[in-house]
Structure 1
Amino acid sequence: MIASVLREIRIHQWIKNLLIFAPLIFSRKLFDQTAFVNASLAFLAYCLAASAIYVINDLKDIDSDRLHPVKKHRPLASGQLSRPIGIALVLICVALCCTLLVVLNDGILMMILLAYCVINVLYSLYFKNISIIDCFFIALGFELRIIAGCKAINVLPSDFILVVTFFLALMLGFVKRKGELKVLSQDAENHRKVLSDYSIGMMDKFIYSCSTMTLISYMFYTIDKNVVGLVGHDYLKYSLIFVVYGLFRFVQLADIDKFQGEGDPTTLIYKDKPVQLTLALYLVFVLFCFYGHWN
């Protein structure tokens, strides 16, 4: 029962909300106790809001999910959890999320989270059926995570971090669509209407364009004079090595079918050891650059 509940609220997808901690790290406030607590509460609030939206979507799509080769194994679609339990999960997640927001007592942060929820609802009801715009909405959700992380610790988001986040999220959105096309093949349109407007070749062009913009934007971020001044040196530019490899690895995984056409970036992070190692090394190097006492 507990395992089914955790699968239903997509606890493994909470990794996406770790992006909320990015401003904490890049503003050199990681060891500021108040900032860390506020960022952590914002992280949990976003996780609970996202889980509520996941369950609502599963309740709405329960019949179509039963026809999907992968989604049919979800707890609600497979019958492991009943509809009343699904509704109860939504209410519990919403109640806990609201409690955290009350503790944070930040009206603007509440509005950002509300905007995130509205965007996800609009995406589910309408925009997920409009090609390209569907992935734009996914990217917008990641932008709001960054903005929420900044507001939680009272710092302004830099233009570079917003641009990098947008193109990275957009690229991962197209990687996911490519994976869905490969898994569902000829039956793709029946499971997700928008896939009829996409093709593998088109996805490759979009992925290459977004990965290029991500790399260029991140490169300019690392050599920006304000960043160099904050860090105290220009060594951050060498972190580009990890970013280049990480992006190329995602592009490679989306193409070689190592995980049977699995294109969900979150799943790839959990499954692929090179991606995990690259992320770990990148984080260590960034922490070294921002928090090394020798600089």
Structure 2
Amino acid sequence: MPSCSSPTFGGNERRMSSNRSDLPKQNQSLSLGTLPFIFRAIRPIEWVKNVFVLAPLFFSGQGKDFDNLFAVGTVFLGFCCVSSAIYLFNDINDRELDRFHPRKRKRPIASGELSVRLAATVATILASTGLLFVAFQPLVLVLLLAYGLINVFYSLWLKHIVIVDIFCVAAGFVLRVFAGGAAIGVSPSSWLILATLLLSLFLALAKRRHEILISEPSLSAYRPVLEQYNLKLVDELISVVTPVTLITYVLYTLDPSTTSRFNTKQLYLTSVFVVFGIFRYLYLIHRMQLGGAPVELLTKDMPLLVAIICWIASFFLIVYIT
């Protein structure tokens, strides 16, 4: 059992080394030399999450309208900028603790490759740019501000409260859907909101499960909320959320309002890809012990990626072609 005076992730020597490595970077300025560090810090791969703003457009059957595509595109860009600003804010806030984490200590701010001052400057520029993208869409602007505030409170406080933490993550996805709907003047259906909430809870729980599996005694100090979870609790929560998510989607495809809106009763056929995708994800988190990086899993696991592509293609074919 490790003693309190010898942290697992590197000890005092590593901490002093990390602090020293940060000092020469304090006078950094925006330049070609710092762009690679900034690019890594803003995590563009995570922008995949912002495709949820396209959901109301896709599910409303208006995906061919250029004006709507442009409106939703600006919302997508706005969320990309603001979400990246939040990642920078979170990394600045957690930089001291991140230096003791086996993976996060390699992030540009924690490692000292990117100075706090420059990171804060870039975050301010990104946040301002993101808000400018939606400045002429008042409701979207309010929703984007709400998204930003929730994430700031999450970084500072809410991520340390059990259960509340995963609902904050889910709220971010739901706000994306509402913003996408507001951009084209469409109110997202209750089915779409429920499906988004449940799917995001499923992904957040899978991530918590992975964090518990790889956690070490010293990680509890880094992430106190992990002490409030255990594998049994998370598995039970996943077992509740999973069937409800699947049932919600199937009921959506069979709902009379859905079939009348799209003038088809064939949408239930797309359920097979949703079921396969969920089953594949369960396999990956339970048998392969993955789930810590949902975006990476969704974009790099070939069977899962094929299921997503087939679902999109089948939905598009049924709604927009036939």
Q: Give how far 1:257 is off.
A: 3.0
Query: Residue 186 of structure 1 aligns to a residue in which SS?
Result: coil
Query: Residue 156 of structure 1 aligns to a residue in which SS?
Result: coil
- Number of aligned positions between the proteins: 289
In 2, Cα distance between equivalents of 1:267 and 1:180: 15
Gaps of 5+ in 1: none
Specify the alignment match of 2:319 in structure 1. Answer: 290
In 2, Cα distance between equivalents of 1:181 and 1:125: 21
Matches within 5 A, 1:136-155: 136-155=167-186
Q: Give how far 1:232 is off.
A: 1.6
Residues 244 and 185 of structure 1: CA distance in aligned 2, closer, same or farther (over 3 Å): farther
Specify the alignment match of 1:57 in structure 2. Answer: 90
Q: What CA deviation, in whole Å up to 9, does each residue of 1:256-283 have, x standing for no partner?
A: 236xx45221121133111111111111
Q: What CA deviation, in whole Å up to 9, does each residue of 1:31-69 have, x standing for no partner?
A: 111100000000010111111111001011111001111
Specify the alignment match of 1:46 in structure 2. Answer: 79
In 2, Cα distance between equivalents of 1:3 and 1:269: 24
Q: What CA deviation, in whole Å up to 9, does each residue of 1:189-230 have, x standing for no partner?
A: 122110001111211111121111111111110001111112
Q: Give how far 1:185 is off.
A: 3.5
Report the AA paired with residue 253 of structure 2.
T
Matches within 5 A, 1:80-229: 80-102=113-135, 105-229=136-260
**Aligned residue among 259, 264, 269 for 2:293:** 264
TM-score by length of 1: 0.95
In terms of mean alpha carbon deviation, does 273-282 or 78-87 score higher? Answer: 78-87
TM-score by length of 2: 0.87
Gaps of 5+ in 2: 1-33
- Runs of 4+ with deviation above 4 angstroms: none
Specify the alignment match of 2:308 in structure 1. Answer: 279
RMSD: 1.3
Tell me if the contact between 1:116 and 1:141 (Cα under 8 Å) persists in the aligned partners.
Answer: yes
Matches within 5 A, 1:62-77: 62-77=95-110
Is 1:29 the counterpart of 2:66? The answer is no
**Aligned residue among 6, 15, 19 for 2:52:** 19
Q: What percentage of residue pairs aligned between the two structures are identical?
A: 34
